[in-house]
Structure 1
């Protein structure tokens, strides 16, 4: 597998090489155009000179042309000049009479409407100029090879190839060191992370520049470490609390059995022992079921099946179920704001989970009330559904309110008045979060109120 440093180097070399190739092709192309244009200009000047000798000075023999070539610092290679009379369709003059066919092949391309034609034939460049003098229509055709231009282009091509190869080599080396320098902070981060796990989870990754991309990555990673530390702390607390909650009834059961086995007792004593054991087993069963509910809501949150649930009907069903379990409880339902629109009463959620939520709230309210009474206030508005569960009882201290939805947390004020494990409200918080609702608590000397808020189907 190719590492990031190699990929960065490769991408850097490829990108800059492509830019150099485009730049070199541009230099070569425009240099070629410039040389061709310059040579066409020389051919055009030679055609004008020949025209002047022919029509003005009446001197067009090869001796005069050789004198003109002698004064030219750069003589044309394979130069050939022809003058063609379009009216008589004959060649009036040629510097190479033995090879007039070379220019004759361009005669069909001549157009009387054009004044100058520029042509290519292999390495040859050809210029044809149209001259109209009275009734005569003549063409001066000049051709030659720009050997110096071809040599210059060949040298330029070699230079560009060598420079590109040298640039690729230089880019490979510099790109490798550049990638190493850019990724150097990542190596430091890896070393810091290896030092954090598992020895010291409380440490955090440090980076000098917190505003660049790596700094933002470090900040995000530190936030993840915060959540991991919180999760590990919660896990330790959970295990410790579960061990403690399970240890007490198990120890009590074991002690009662040991005492019962020490000596024979009368049936009434055995009956009292069995009743005590039954109570302890109910406590264990209740704790186990609550822990399972907490685990299911945490782990299987994404797998819960959602369906339309009419909350007023579910509230009545929950009341009946709670009273069946606890005949001494009292649940008072009131509906001060009841919408005529059925959608205001329906919530998209998991029916079983919502039933557990309402059961825990009502059961807690009755359990911590001196009169074992829960007062439930149901209100439905447009797109909003609220359920307030109130009970009379000791006020929860303000310092304890932020923690009451944490697993196994029990306020000192409520722990003295009733038995419990501190898991039910944690289950309630999980279910509310799954249904994207809110729950809050307000406690006064008059009593404690839990306010549940859910979004109804009318909001969608």
Structure 2
């Protein structure tokens, strides 16, 4: 069942329940009103009887008939009985044959101090007590509210018809209303079906951006923005990885092919193996870099975090970088080194943080003229800061906003320094996952990358 049917059915059920509740209320209060009105007429008849019988002392049935005729509405099957404790039986009756009903009500009338209302079968009965000449007398009047029953029957029919008509009208209006409310969804579905990878830049249009459907469209468009960015990154990734893999593999294959054409001397074989070793290391570095990037993007939430001393980790990263590159120089300067060990602890993943430090060291040494990086380690109240400085060429200001994007390389340095364009992206992602910040400052004097991590105590 689609949304339109569900909305229509819910609308019908809700309005039907309201109509039934309203109709039952109207019927119930109408019934109470008619009963109260009829009891009032019985009471008037009883008072008239008592007045004629005890005050005027006109107990002739002819007089009662004249009184009834003067009434605009004659009570259907009206019967009046008068009882007295002088004789302990009825002393007057206008309708012989209905004494059984009155005798059944008489005990309630006797026990009541004022008046009593009862319903016995079809009859509605009113009884009241009157004292006259020192004796207790009881007047009982009964009748059938035939007009009231007919009125209630007509009211039931009217209410049932009105409910059915109302449900039908609600069903039709609900169907039209739901169709009008959901009409934009059909347009949105059509627009979404027209979006393909080739035109993923296309966005869904909706005239009213402030309603719920407009908010849904905005959310979907933001999702398309992320999808477009992912597809673009994927294209760049494939192009760059293909290029980065192609060069060393082609070089390795060419060297092997040339070497195997004819026997070579031992020094030539050694030179060829050294070249293959360098190309293999390049492939290994590229593979590790890509794996680190994948782990930070895909498996970001699975990073296990523990307290890590950043000063010790910095020394470990320095040793690892210099082991891989013997010509790299890493100078560490501790500014305002704290006495408390807790001021050096960051809550994070040791392996991931080590990758950040090694990437920034390698990046700084690679672009420095003398393969040297200067690191200032400084602790503040709520965070610690590491500044990686190299005296290499300045990064153009137009490139600074993009250097943390995957595979982005500045034209000023891409030709002179070998790289893959993902190292700084890994640094940015891991730093963000640890609640830290990374920024860059570059001038003619050199470039500084600044890392800030919140302390575990803050």
Please state how far the C-alpha of 1:116 moved relative to its aligned partner: 2.9
Alignment partner of 1:424 is 2:416? no
Match of 1:207 in 2: 206
**For residues 154-165 of structure 1, what are the structure 2 equivalents within 5 Å?**
154-165=153-164
Please state how far the C-alpha of 1:111 moved relative to its aligned partner: 6.2
Alignment partner of 1:254 is 2:243? no
Match of 1:391 in 2: 390
Please state how far the C-alpha of 1:401 moved relative to its aligned partner: 0.9
> Greater CA deviation, 110-119 or 255-264?
110-119
CA distance in 2, matches of 1:292, 1:131: 107
> Greater CA deviation, 387-396 or 376-385?
376-385
Per the alignment, do residues 198 and 139 of structure 1 end up closer, same or farther by CA in structure 2, a change over 3 Å counting?
farther
Equivalent pair of 2:109/2:128 in contact (CA under 8 Å): no
CA distance in 2, matches of 1:411, 1:128: 108
Equivalent pair of 1:382/1:458 in contact (CA under 8 Å): no
Q: Which runs of 5+ in 2 are unaligned?
A: none
Alignment partner of 1:445 is 2:444? yes
Q: State the TM-score, normalizing by the size of structure 2.
A: 0.95
Alignment partner of 1:9 is 2:8? yes
Q: State the TM-score, normalizing by the size of structure 1.
A: 0.94
CA distance in 2, matches of 1:388, 1:325: 22
Equivalent pair of 1:386/1:451 in contact (CA under 8 Å): yes
Residue deviations 1:244-266 (CA, integer Å, cap 9, x gap): 11111111112222222333332
Equivalent pair of 1:368/1:417 in contact (CA under 8 Å): no
Match of 1:331 in 2: 330
Please state how far the C-alpha of 1:134 moved relative to its aligned partner: 5.6
Residue deviations 1:339-394 (CA, integer Å, cap 9, x gap): 34443322221111111111111121122212222211122223212211111211
CA distance in 1, matches of 2:260, 2:368: 39
Per the alignment, do residues 138 and 382 of structure 1 end up closer, same or farther by CA in structure 2, a change over 3 Å counting?
farther
Task: Kindly report the root-mean-square deviation, in angstroms, between the aligned alpha carbons of the 2 structures.
Answer: 1.9
Look up the SS of the partner of 2:301 in the other structure. coil
> Greater CA deviation, 162-171 or 233-242?
162-171
Alignment partner of 1:24 is 2:23? yes
CA distance in 2, matches of 1:418, 1:199: 34
CA distance in 2, matches of 1:292, 1:79: 102
Please state how far the C-alpha of 1:96 moved relative to its aligned partner: 3.5
> Greater CA deviation, 274-283 or 127-136?
127-136
Equivalent pair of 2:108/2:116 in contact (CA under 8 Å): no
CA distance in 2, matches of 1:331, 1:86: 125
How many residues align? The count is 458
Match of 2:399 in 1: 400
Please state how far the C-alpha of 1:53 moved relative to its aligned partner: 0.9
Equivalent pair of 1:81/1:140 in contact (CA under 8 Å): yes
Equivalent pair of 1:366/1:372 in contact (CA under 8 Å): yes
